[in-house]
Amino acid sequence: MASLNDYLLVSGLLFAIGLAGVVLRRNIIIVFMCLELMLSAANLSLVAFSRFNAINGLPDYNGQMLVFFVITVAAAEVAVGLAIIVALYRARQTIHTDELTSLKG
Amino acid sequence: MPSYLFWLFSTIMLIGGTAVIAFRNPVSSALSVVTCFVGLAGLFIGLSAFFVGVIQILVYTGAVMVLFLFIIMLLDLKDEQKRAKGFAPLAAGLGLVIAFVVQLLGILSRTPNKVAPVLDKESLAVAATHFNPTGKIATSLNEGRLPDVQLIGHTLFTEYNLPFQILGVLLLVATVGVVALSKKSVGSD
């Protein structure tokens, strides 16, 4: 049986991969996918905590409710975010973060 | 879940995740995210969270990643060219990630480990006493099965009813927002 720390380690590694992608990649769509990876890593640790903390002999379903809400909010966030990316591409013809320098002093 | 299945699904997940940031072509990255999420759904099912595992496949790999592929198709993205990237951003990014992993390992090596509580026939029968004895939840629990979907539905529509309704409003707002965003950019051409 895998223990709680194994699940937390794997979840932390997935989060680290997502973080590396957000920092290193310059394509906004890839950055957005890496944000999804980070959300999923948080979901994995929530489900692991839910399974390993039994209440009345059952997994703690409050944790899984939070995962349900996170997944739904992430779906809404993806829809809005991709619409913003499409609007950005129409306005600037680029989705590379290097070329978006309006805020640079 | 047996250990080897845990490590198998974790490896699939982590390799998929690494491939996302390693590939130059956005379509390959999107398909790597799908691989990663399939491994993650396997881990969820191994944690007896069957409902979450299924919606991970349906919502994330089914809906969200197809949306990503549509946008990649719509923008007609080409492979990213090798651009002259400075050494400093790469070092800063990797340094940040390595610091994070080292901290994680430090914390996990000090926290007491925990094994999963067993979900066998006896413990499920004890849990069944907390529910209506003629209901479907108690019946399944007494038969030694974990009625995951029924328990989630029970929690969602009793304790979490108000947040659930608010979530519906949020999805409506997102839909209206997406339509408004796309419309404005068309009008400004």
Residues of A in contact with B177 (CB under 8 A): 80, 83
CATH number assigned to the domain comprising residue B57: 1.20.120.1200
Percentage, residues of chain A above pLDDT 90: 65
Is residue B71, in this structure, part of any structural domain at all?
yes
Is residue B37, in this structure, part of any structural domain at all?
yes
Shortest Cα distance, chain A CAs vs residue B73, angstroms? 11
The residue among B43, B45, B82, B172 with the most chain A CBs within 10 A of its CB, best to mutate, is: B43
Is residue B67, in this structure, part of any structural domain at all?
yes
ipTM of the complex as predicted: 0.92
For the segment B104-131, what is each residue's pLDDT rounded down to a tens digit?
999 999 988 888 888 877 788 777 777 8
Burial B71-109 (b: 16+ CB within 10 A, else e): bbeebebeebeeeeeeeeeeeebeeebeebbeebeeeee
Is residue B114, in this structure, part of any structural domain at all?
no
Residue ranges of E strands in A1-105? none
Domain region containing B67: 1-79
Residues of A in contact with B18 (CB under 8 A): 17
Is residue B117, in this structure, part of any structural domain at all?
no
The residue among B185, B186, B189 with the most chain A CBs within 10 A of its CB, best to mutate, is: B185
Does the structure show a pLDDT above 80 at A32? yes
pLDDT attached to residue B187? 53
- The total domain count for chain B is 1
For the segment A81-99, what is each residue's pLDDT rounded down to a tens digit?
999 999 888 888 888 888 8
Does the structure show a pLDDT above 60 at A45? yes
Q: Between the CA of residue A2 and those of A50, A73, B6, B42, what are the distances in Å? A: 15, 30, 7, 14
Is residue B20, in this structure, part of any structural domain at all?
yes
pLDDT attached to residue A81? 93
Is residue B149, in this structure, part of any structural domain at all?
no
Residues of B in contact with A95 (CB under 8 A): 75, 77
pLDDT attached to residue A36? 93
Q: What is the mean predicted confidence (pLDDT) over B85-98?
A: 84
Percentage, residues of chain B above pLDDT 70: 93
Mean of per-residue pLDDT scores for chain B: 87
Is residue B161, in this structure, part of any structural domain at all?
no
Tell me the two tokens of residue B72. 């990649």
Domain ranges of chain A: 4-99
- Kindly report the CATH class assigned to A4-99: mainly alpha
